[in-house]
Amino acid sequence: MQIDTRGLSCPQPVIETKKVLDTKVEQATVLVDTIAAKENVSRYAKAAKYSVEVNETSDGWSLELHKL
């Protein structure tokens, strides 16, 4: 599942990510475009027991989340 949070101000990227992770998905990709969103979503995902792989894109970052 892909979550596009580009253009959203914090804490909205974390809220959108939480909505999806609360459905117990095994993996998700979160697109962010600010350093704050990258750090906050990564921190939340790790606390929710997901591994986080960060990949830089032309317009921000792609966070690959996988359930541990």
**Domain locations in the chain as residue ranges:** 2-67
11-67 pLDDT, tens digit each? 999 999 999 999 999 999 999 999 999 999 999 999 999 999 999 999 999 999 999
What fold, for 2-67?
Translation Initiation Factor IF3 (3.30.110)
Q: DSSP letters along 20-58, please?
A: HHTTT-SEEEEEE-SHHHHHHHHHHHHHTTEEEEEEEET
Q: What pLDDT shows up at residue 56?
A: 97
CA distance 66 to 68: 6
| Structure confidence at residue 9 (pLDDT) | 93
